[in-house]
Amino acid sequence: MSYYKIENLEQYFKHYNKSVREPRKFWSKIASENFTWYQESEKIVEFDMAEAKIKWFVDAKVNIVKNCLDRHLSKRGEKTAIIFEPNNPNDSAEHITYNDLYSRVSKMANVLREQGIKKGDRVCIYLPMIPEIAVSVLACARIGAIHSVVFAGFSASAVATRINDSECKMVITSDGGFRGEKTIDLKGIIDEALLNCPSVENVLVVKRTNSSIKMKEGRDQWLQPLTEAASDNCIAEIMDSEDPLFILYTSGSTGKPKGMVHTTAGYMVYTAYSFKNVFNYEENDVFWCTADIGWITGHSYILYGPLLNGATTVMFEGVPTYPDFSRFWEIIEKHKVTQFYTAPTAIRSLAKENLSYVQKYPLKSLKVIGSVGEPINEEAWHWYNDHVGGKRCPLVDTWWQTETGGILISALAFITPTKPTYASLPLPGIQVVLMDEKRNEIEDNQVTGSLCIKFPWPGIARTIWGDHQRYKDTYFSAFPGKYFTGDGALRDEVGYYRITGRVDDVIIVSGHNLGTAPIEDAINEHPAVAESAVVGFPHDVKGNALYGFVILKESGEYRDRANLTKEINQHISDHIGPIAKLDKIQFVSGLPKTRSGKIMRRILRKIAEGDFSNFGDTSTLLNPEIVDEIKEGRL
Ligand code: 7RM
């Protein structure tokens, strides 16, 4: 019996039980039967949760790029690996076959070696969503260099912090990037960042926008002439299972960003396995994840997961609103996308617009739609399900984190019955527990607890670069022996999990625990509301009271704000109860969001409290200017 692909619900439970009873046998079989190894592991897993030390496929030798590319060439050499859809819909899409990608990656890998990059060196990749970002990531992995992709929207100081933290020797960037109507000066940002980055010796520059840029003598080189001259024969580095594959920074609740370190074999096995099963990937499918490769979702489900399965994966350079609000739907139609994976924030923003944008396209190629990044509220869930999935595509709400490497809780398309706002069941190998305040495991259902995982899985990040103590403190100390996610969750009577949001988003009002997400859901149900965020602020009698920041839809109706405030509270009363009514409602034109679409609640909390003293690190905000507007309008 093979464990790689789950065929039905009964088999899911069988595999799940096997993965708990005999995790070594379970993962050993998956690893052995579906990947190419120089040497296989006998021990499979070794761990010490107290010390936060975890090893998977102990002592095995492997190269992840050989598994992404080389082993597919005989069967799928002429199959499209990557469909590159450019920002401008009038430019033609590029279909890169497995043969092409293999050759481009090999050339790039040889260039890196010629430039002095060796196994274990860190390379910062600061590129837009163009094929070279995929090629650069894979070229690093082929020669054992550790890639550190920094999202090409981060500021110079944010890039510099990340480059310095992991002492990158090289930066790969471009002369610029296209995003909608805008051209972004990436090289200028790198030039500024590198004023403070002594570890960087070389900068390779991809030509994309033809913008005029400065090249620094002795440091900067155009990439294309180097790759053209390079050989496309590149022997892959033999990597130990636990050699670092990449570093990816994630913002902590305080302090500097955490460089999460993922290692080679466990990440490989887990991303491939989760991709295959969550999305029910089949041989001729066309998979599109709209994330940027600068985030974990792009690493795991644009690149590694799909390529490990020999899939065709779409890479989109642009934005959902350019040239108009139908761009996503037009691309799905054009490339006959079968699986579409995006974030609730994108869905909500497109759902605000006229339905004709989505109804123009039949979207008949779609089989599965997915959501990731934040809880998907009921209204957005239905809009996505009805208007994109046509009520016939399973909607997989996938819960996971940068730290988890791959999806941990999600319905498996065509296997797990879905339920709006529930991520549903853990994947095999994922032993989820809910913990109460006294650090006891919660056995009951319908209770919210802290979401923890009590056994390691292959995809878990192994450490924080340069700071193992912080890794231990952040993830393994709140609940000894367990990995603590920082999220809260509710389990229903059949064992489905609903992620209720960060645990620190729970607000206790008059002794009642209230999650911000359900309150926001209720507010968003009001026809005038586009989006909202709720935070707590100190209150003499109730302990905490609720403050709502509300964005209205564009339409000119609902001018009467006093009336609207009453109606919104009535909605909350109706949906949750009078206890959840807001004490204050401030109408705003936007919310402070990180570049991955998460609301920075820390800032809203401070404003609600009236504490304008120190907003902490706001370098990751997409729209820092909104903070002043909200401050001025505070009630
Ligand atoms: C993949 C990703 C992780 C945090 C996580 C949650 C939230 C992600 C969902 C979700 C509810 C989901 N990595 N989150 N997915 N909440 N339902 N399906 O987003 O490191 O950037 O963020 O995102 O709070 O802890 S991440």
Query: What CATH number is associated with residue 529?
Result: 3.30.300.30
- Nearest residue by C-alpha to atom 5 in ligand 1: 401
**pLDDT band for position 402 (50/70/90)?**
very high
Same domain, 609 and 479: no
Q: Percentage of residues in the chain with pLDDT exceeding 70?
A: 97
For residue 541, is pLDDT > 80? no
Token pair for residue 479?
């609940």
Ligand 1 pocket mutation pick from 499, 601, 620 by most atoms within 8 angstroms of CB: 499
Q: What is the CATH number of the domain that holds 414?
A: 3.40.50.12780
Token pair for residue 601?
């609640």
* 350 domain residue, yes or no: no
Average pLDDT rounded to a whole number, residues 254-267? 87
For residue 397, is pLDDT > 70? yes
Average pLDDT rounded to a whole number, residues 232-244? 98
Q: Is 499 in the pocket of ligand 1 (CB under 6 A)?
A: yes
Same domain, 238 and 179: yes
- The number of the ligand 1 atom at minimal distance from the alpha carbon of 485 is 25
Mean pLDDT of the chain: 93
Q: Percentage of residues in the chain with pLDDT exceeding 90?
A: 81
| pLDDT at residue 613, as a whole number | 82
Average pLDDT rounded to a whole number, residues 262-277? 98
Distant-in-sequence contacts of 4-9, Cβ < 8 A, 24+ apart: 4/30, 4/33, 4/34, 4/273, 4/276, 5/276, 5/277, 6/277, 6/412, 6/415, 6/428, 7/415, 8/415, 9/415, 9/416
* 270 domain residue, yes or no: yes
Same domain, 21 and 115: yes
* 381 domain residue, yes or no: no
Token pair for residue 343?
């974030």
| pLDDT at residue 69, as a whole number | 98
> CA-CA distance, 82 to 94, in Å (whole number)?
8
- The number of the ligand 1 atom at minimal distance from the alpha carbon of 423 is 18
Q: Is 476 in the pocket of ligand 1 (CB under 6 A)?
A: no
Average pLDDT rounded to a whole number, residues 415-423? 97
**pTM score, two decimals?**
0.86
* 148 domain residue, yes or no: yes
* 497 domain residue, yes or no: no
* 494 domain residue, yes or no: no
* 25 domain residue, yes or no: yes
Same domain, 427 and 571: no
CA of 424 to the centre of ligand 1 (A): 14
Same domain, 135 and 194: yes
* 368 domain residue, yes or no: no
| pLDDT at residue 158, as a whole number | 82
Q: Is 500 left (phi over 0), alpha (psi -120 to 50) or beta?
A: alpha
Contacts of 523 (CB under 8 A, 6+ apart): 529, 532, 534, 548, 550, 568, 571, 572
Domain with 13 in it? 9-319+398-489
Q: Is 502 in the pocket of ligand 1 (CB under 6 A)?
A: yes
Q: Which range among 111-115, 376-380, 432-436 shows the weakest confidence by mean pLDDT? A: 376-380
| pLDDT at residue 253, as a whole number | 45
For residue 232, is pLDDT > 50? yes
Task: Identify the burial level of 563 via C-beta atoms within 10 angstroms of its C-beta, where 0-12 means exposed, 13-18 middle and 19 or more buried.
Answer: exposed
Domain boundary among 489, 518, 550: 489
For residue 630, is pLDDT > 70? yes
The string of pLDDT tens digits covering residues 370-388 is: 999 888 889 999 999 999 9
Same domain, 405 and 528: no
Q: Is 375 in the pocket of ligand 1 (CB under 6 A)?
A: yes
CA of 297 to the centre of ligand 1 (A): 10
**pLDDT band for position 301 (50/70/90)?**
very high
Average pLDDT rounded to a whole number, residues 497-501? 88
Q: Is 373 in the pocket of ligand 1 (CB under 6 A)?
A: yes
For residue 504, is pLDDT > 70? no
Q: Specify the number of domains making up the chain.
A: 2
| pLDDT at residue 514, as a whole number | 67
For residue 439, is pLDDT > 50? yes
Give DSSP secondary structure letters for 265-279: HHHHHHHHHHHHHHT
Average pLDDT rounded to a whole number, residues 559-585? 87
Q: Name the packing angle between helices 264-278 and 23-34 (round to 10°).
A: 90
Give the CA dihedral 589, 593, 598, 601, nearest 10 degrees. -80
Q: Which range among 183-192, 300-309, 593-602 shows the weakest confidence by mean pLDDT? A: 593-602
| pLDDT at residue 503, as a whole number | 74
| pLDDT at residue 540, as a whole number | 76
| pLDDT at residue 88, as a whole number | 98
Same domain, 462 and 599: no
Same domain, 543 and 458: no
Same domain, 577 and 430: no
Same domain, 452 and 524: no
CA of 400 to the centre of ligand 1 (A): 5
Average pLDDT rounded to a whole number, residues 555-570? 81
Helix (H) or strand (E) holding 133, with range, is helix 131-143
Same domain, 409 and 549: no
Same domain, 215 and 315: yes
Q: Name the packing angle between helices 9-21 and 23-34 (round to 10°).
A: 110
